[in-house]
Amino acid sequence: MSGTMLNVGLDAAQLTEQRSKVLRGFARGDRAFSLTTLIACWTVVIILTGVMVALFRGALPAFQAFGWEFFISQRWSPPKEIFGGLPAIYGTLISSLIAMAIAMPIGLGIAIFLTETCPMALRKPIGIAVELLAGVPSIIYGIWGLFIFAPFLAEHVNPSLVKFFAPIPLLNALFANGSYGTNVLTASLILSIMIIPFISSVSRDVFETVPAVLKEAAYGLGCTTWEVVRKVVIPHTRVGVIGGGMLALGRALGETMAVTFVIGNAHRINPSFLDPGTTISATIANEFTEADPGLYSSTLFALGFILFVITFIVLAAARLMLMRIERRLGN
């Protein structure tokens, strides 16, 4: 009897030891996983910091030479080493905002159609077709815009816009002189086509997370499809929709090749959207290869640093806005 009890005790001790080993293995795995994710996080932070520091160091001579005048001056003369960044900054912001104003309602409309009214047999083919737009290289958009889209706008669309807005104060200045095919409006339209897939894909994914019971309850109360979308779907997913919009805006701010082809690359601010302009990325792409080491090259570094800061501010503001919305919804 005592031997049996002894064996049982030994078996229990062995079982306890085995469990302890398994738990210690789990603990080591958790620590290794936590350490790996921490290293990955800090790697991204270090890379971003390194990029910012490198850009700032390259831009420092330009900032020291021009000071705040660099941000408000339109002069651009490489032979005289006189540079102003305002036209590029203005062009970057205005083209991205116009592109968002065009792409956001279209992207949301596509997402609503695919999730609410599109026949089931067509949802996947149409969704894939829209997402394929994001896979087209930007230089293809640029070539198409330069040789096909811009001449079409100059011949058929721009004159109509000038004529339509001519009697309207203020707007007639924004839509004047439609003789150029390569202009800010053309670049904005190309950008809007490029960012529509980002908006529609993210919006569609978050729309599909809405519980079916909420929509069925709204339909049961007699709501129309539009009322269900406006009062149930969009309020339930607005955080994701805003996040998709900010992702698209970040994409538009940094686009280079497509914009370079169709914006006209003029270092001046024109009041009309139908006149040529430039952006930060287009200016860097056009002039970096011929920029001599020194003030000229430093100016391009300064523009790159400004674009980095603009993008960081936009994404940080978006994140703060999303946090406020989530906190309000939580309350």
On the question of pLDDT at 15 being above 70, the answer is: no
pLDDT of 316 above 50: yes
Does residue 278 surpass a pLDDT of 90?
A: yes
Q: Looking up tokens 């000038």, which residue turns up?
A: 162
Cβ of 288: how many Cβ atoms within 10 Å?
Answer: 14
What CA–CA distance (Å, rounded) separates 113 from 200? Answer: 10
What pTM did the predictor assign?
A: 0.85
Of all helices (H) and strands (E), which one includes residue 222?
none
Give pLDDT tens digits for 154-164.
Answer: 988 999 999 99
pLDDT digits (tens, 9 = 90+) for 319-331: 787 777 667 666 5
- CA distances from residue 193 to 106, 159, 186, 327 in whole angstroms, order as listed: 10, 22, 11, 33
How many residues appear in the chain?
331
Q: Give the Cα separation of 167 and 310 in Å (integer).
A: 36
Residue showing tokens 């079409």: 152
Q: Which residues, listed in sequence order, are joined to residue 264 by a DSSP beta bridge?
A: 277
Residue 132 burial (C-beta neighbours within 10 Å; 0-12, 13-18, 19+): exposed
**164-190 confidence digits (pLDDT tens):** 998 888 888 889 887 778 899 999 999
Looking at residue 6, what is its pLDDT?
47
Listed in sequence order, the DSSP H helices in 67-157 are 69-72, 86-112, 120-132, 138-144, 150-152
In whole angstroms, give the CA distance from residue 167 to residue 171: 9
Alpha helices in 157-256 (DSSP H): 158-165, 171-174, 184-207, 212-220, 225-228, 234-254
C-beta neighbour count of 295 within 10 angstroms: 18
| 38-91 pLDDT, tens digit each | 899 899 889 989 989 999 999 999 999 988 889 988 888 888 888 999 999 999
- Domain spans, the chain: 67-330
Distance (Å, whole) CA 295 – CA 290: 13
C-alpha to C-alpha distance for 163 and 70, rounded to whole angstroms: 37
Residue 266: which of 252, 287, 244, 283 has the closest Cα? 283
Closest CA to 91 of 291, 263, 212, 302: 263
Architecture of the domain defined by 67-330: Orthogonal Bundle (1.10)
* Helix 86-112, helix 295-330: angle, nearest 10: 40
Residue 11, Cβ neighbours under 10 Å: how many?
A: 10
Q: Indicate the SS3 state at residue 264.
A: strand
Asked if 40 contacts 53 with a C-beta cutoff of 8 angstroms, the reply is no
CA–CA distance from 254 to each of 138, 167, 227, 277 (Å)? 12, 35, 36, 16
